[in-house]
Amino acid sequence: MKKKFLLLFVLHFFFLPIFSQRDGEENNRDIRTKTVGGNTKQTESDPLFKSAFDKYEKKLYAEAYEDYTAYLKKYPESQAGLYNRGLCSYALKDYKTAIRDFQKSIEAGKNTDNVYFMIGESYYALKNYSEALTHFDVCLKIKPNHHKALTYKGATLNNLEKYEDALTYLNAAYEINPDYEPTYYSRAIAKYNLKDYQGGLEDTDKALALQDNIETHFWRGVNLIGLKRYKDALAEYDLVISRDKKYAAAYYNRGLAYLDLGEYKKSVDDNTSCIEIDPYHKKAHYNRGLSQYYLGNYSNAETDFNSAIAMGLTDHKSYCFRGATYYMLKKDELAAADLNKAIQLNSEYEYSYFHRARLRYANADDKGCIEDCDKALALKKNYDTYYTRGLAKYALKDYNGAIADFTESLTLKPNYALALLERGNSYYMIEKDDLALADLNKTIEQNPNQGKAFYFRGKIKKFKNDQNGSCADLKTAQTLGYTSATEALLKNGCK
């Protein structure tokens, strides 16, 4: 049973200062003519102010900051000087200092929408979302149609996981200005988290039509994964990684796409790249473990699941798949403990019951296996679960019940060779030889190396007085390593 997990819910936290920085310099282009002290126009004529302003425009933020500081020694109550120095600090990612200057500009009389907006942006960059919302609200009280404040309020609500509220503000921002790229970008994130993947994809496309940005490509890939368009998602993450080879989350998401495409080796490689950049990315350890599990590298899978759990990823899935790994490593006591823990954490997760059923069957607890399969099937129908329950019923000599389960398994997965084989064996046990032969013939067509199928077909041919055919099948079974065939050959008198 192969079950993959798209652990993408963590990704909205990457929507932080990058968005803020690429928009911050657009604010307040009218600062040249702001009054100083509320009554004199010194900004245009003062050489220090002009020098600072020009350096800021050239993105020489540290030098601009120094010139504004010198200017403020002459005019300490300058609204424009304080505000513009705050912009320099913001551009230098010194958000606390930026807030200080913005607040001083308010004290000096600059009670405008944009100063509150910039304080909100600074708190947003500091991940202080409560204060960010407070200041965006003040900005919007002064200017209700401030589309940037509406956009950033929506972005802040995204980070607080209030996606429906975020969408309301982002839609309002769109109505005011349909050409503002960050609105589409933020709305794509909200829509993704509301499972509107197509809407999220359309918004990333609109954002990219306005501005080509690596973060937007990242989120385009996220929505493509949500739509199960994994190959298209790979193309997005190839692009993102080509532009930033240290982008851990891009490797992580590309690894998710590979995981769902069944390309487990590539998924291992991408999660390894993510871990090399971010060693404590617990979900990358988990997903690498999952890929190792599907590759049959159970010792490596155990190591990764142990790391993920040690880092705090202690949800039911982690214990479920570590338990499944322990089962494959024949560490039955550890497997039982983990699977019991997984069920304790979430009694509605069918795969924990399924893997515990396999463990119980392996330990001859056939009734316990059936009970767990019943619970798993009540939550979700699955061909492997029907197959496993069929095996347990066969072991309890409930051959008709086994046939019913193998048939259900084949309904969900036609030509499932193992279910065909075991249904054929079950038909043999209740002497329905023609039905048994039909299933065993199909099994051998699909897998000519299945010794057990040749063995049972050989026994049926014996009862049908086909001595030569029986001996031929039993010899093939023996050649394929099915040990019971040796004794049957002797009993049949085969030469």
C-alpha atoms less than 13 angstroms from C-alpha of 151 in its C-beta half-sphere: 25
**Higher pLDDT pick, 220 / 7:** 220
pLDDT band at 45 (very low <50, low <70, confident <90, very high): confident
Q: Under a CB-based contact definition with an 8 Å cutoff, are residues 359 and 330 in contact?
A: no
For helices 282-295 and 316-328, angle between their N-to-C axes, nearest 10 degrees = 30
Q: What percent of the chain has pLDDT over 70?
A: 91
For helices 248-260 and 214-226, angle between their N-to-C axes, nearest 10 degrees = 20
pLDDT band at 27 (very low <50, low <70, confident <90, very high): very low
Convert the pLDDT of each residue in 190-237 to its tens digit. 999 999 999 999 999 999 999 999 999 999 999 999 999 999 999 999
pLDDT band at 32 (very low <50, low <70, confident <90, very high): very low
Output DSSP code: residue 35.
P
Q: Which of 309, 290, 311, 310 is nearest to 300 (CA)?
A: 290
Convert the pLDDT of each residue in 465-478 to its tens digit. 999 999 998 999 99
**Mean pLDDT, range 133-142, rounded to an integer:** 98
Q: What is the pTM of this model?
A: 0.85
Q: How far apart are CA 430 and CA 6, in angstroms?
A: 45
CB 161: neighbour CB atoms within 10 A?
12
* CA distance to 12, 247, 250, 282, per residue, from 278 (Å): 17, 9, 12, 9
Give the mean pLDDT of the chain: 91
Interacting residues of 380 by C-beta distance below 8 A, sequence separation 6+: 350
pLDDT band at 15 (very low <50, low <70, confident <90, very high): very low
Q: What residues pair up with 84 in beta bridges, in sequence order?
A: none
Q: Under a CB-based contact definition with an 8 Å cutoff, are residues 191 and 210 in contact?
A: no
Convert the pLDDT of each residue in 426-465 to its tens digit. 999 999 999 999 999 999 999 999 999 999 999 999 988 9
Convert the pLDDT of each residue in 284-304 to its tens digit. 999 999 999 999 999 999 999
pLDDT of residue 492: 85
CA 192 to chain CA centroid, Å, is 12
pLDDT of residue 157: 98
| 29 has a pLDDT exceeding 50 | no
Q: What residues pair up with 40 in beta bridges, in sequence order?
A: 36
CB 245: neighbour CB atoms within 10 A?
11
| 351 has a pLDDT exceeding 60 | yes
For helices 248-260 and 264-277, angle between their N-to-C axes, nearest 10 degrees = 160
Q: Which of 425, 418, 348, 344 is nearest to 1 (CA)?
A: 418
pLDDT of residue 44: 53
Convert the pLDDT of each residue in 406-435 to its tens digit. 999 999 999 999 999 999 999 999 999 999
